[in-house]
Amino acid sequence: MIQSAYCLLLTACCLLLTQSKGNHMDDIDRKLLNEIQSDFPVVQRPYKDLGARLSCSEDNILKRIKRLKEEGIIRRIGGNFDSQGIGFTTTLCAARVPDDTIEEFVRMVNKYSGVTHNYLRDHHYNIWFTFVAPNMKEIDRYIEEIMKHTGVGKILNLPAVKIFKILVNFNLV
């Protein structure tokens, strides 16, 4: 695993739906999810490496990951970076979006590569999302663009003052 400020952890963001939607995972699926959550190999052929760890072929691992993505169990596989460690800033945003424009608003917000999470909440500020960018000026500009294009008049910008990282891995075996 790479040990640097650029990459603290490679992980799979797993939506743990093992007891809903009729998902049927076998032991290899569960072991695979355990591996990619906390020890994703940073090598030229990571799925071959995962296969060797789990006594499977690379092709079998790729098929399993594809299926787990299609079933919504894996949302994404990618690096998690220490944004402050690479000089970026983060903020939590909250918007009051009319119910009939939520889909349009969410599509607009999700177009920005710096948006890492986007949630619908049962609150008068009903859409919450996180933004990561090189500086707050850029985030402010993006928020202004979003408001202009969606007609949402106010988006709260709640910059991170201190980040408390919690490592969350789900043991599925």
Q: pLDDT value at position 125? A: 95
Residue 47: what are its φ and ψ, rounded to 5°? -75, -30
Sign of CA dihedral 106, 107, 112, 113: positive
**Tens of each residue's pLDDT in the chain, 173 residues:** 333 222 223 333 333 333 334 568 999 999 999 999 888 999 999 999 999 999 999 999 999 999 999 998 887 787 777 788 888 999 999 999 999 999 999 999 999 989 988 999 999 999 999 999 999 999 999 999 999 999 999 999 999 888 777 666 677 77
Half-sphere exposure of 54 (CA within 13 A, CB side): 29
Rounded to whole angstroms, how far apart are CA atoms 173 and 28? 9
Q: Which two tokens stand for residue 122?
A: 């049962």
Note whether 101 and 146 are within 8 A (CB): no
Q: Which of 116, 33, 28 is nearest to 74 (CA)?
A: 33
Rounded to whole angstroms, how far apart are CA atoms 49 and 57? 9
- Pairing assessment for the beta strands 127-133 and 74-80 based on DSSP bridges: unpaired
Q: Which of 133, 134, 138 is nearest to 115 (CA)?
A: 133
Q: Which of 11, 165, 168 is nearest to 74 (CA)?
A: 11
Rounded to whole angstroms, how far apart are CA atoms 70 and 63? 11
Q: Which two tokens stand for residue 43?
A: 């090598």
- What is the set of domains in the chain, with CATH numbers? 9-80 (1.10.10.2890), 84-159 (3.30.70.920)
Rounded to whole angstroms, how far apart are CA atoms 98 and 64? 39
Burial class (CB in 10 A: 0-12, 13-18, 19+), 152: buried
Q: pLDDT value at position 126? A: 96
